[in-house]
Amino acid sequence: MQLKKAISAGIYGTTAMTAFSYALSVRKKSDFREPALLGKILHRNGLKKPAAKISGWLVHYAVGFLFTLAYDAIWRKKNIRIVPSGIVMGGICGLIGVAVWKATFRLQAVPPLINYKKFYRQLIIAHLVFGYFSALGYKAQPKALPPAKEKDPS
């Protein structure tokens, strides 16, 4: 694992995805802000509002980092082009994200009042953005150097 590359990819991808979701929320006058929705859910489940808001952001970035760890494992083992495969993996993660969000909303006593169909649609597109920018963030980091060999004392 190339932890620095995976962290960089996670930051690039999650930040770009979040910016996309926030911008689309304004443009479409709908709530697609994943960290804010996570915060609302956490608050409704007992966390105080400031802690819930921060936790929503932390969970959002943690999930992005977990996705990029999986990307890293694939990119290191397979001889595939990083950017196109990042977009494909972003689409797959989008489908996973839809399933997780659907389950999360179903488990809530009082789920957020949003247009779920629009939310899920934008979530898949947002994950394509995530995959693309994760790939760019991954490529932007130099390759890790192999560990230095110890000198033979003789």
H or E element that contains 117: helix 116-140
Amino acid at 17: M
Q: Write out the two tokens for 21.
A: 């979701």
Structure letter (DSSP) for residue 32 = -
C-beta separation of 138 from 65 below 8 A = no
pLDDT the model gives residue 79:
86
For the chain, 154 residues long, give each residue's pLDDT as a single digit of tens. 688 899 999 999 999 999 999 999 999 999 999 999 999 999 999 999 999 999 999 999 999 999 999 999 999 998 899 999 999 999 999 999 999 999 999 999 999 999 999 999 999 999 999 999 999 999 998 876 556 566 666 5
Predicted structure pTM score: 0.89
pLDDT the model gives residue 56:
98
Closest C-alpha among 54, 53, 68, 52 to residue 17:
68
H or E element that contains 28: helix 3-28
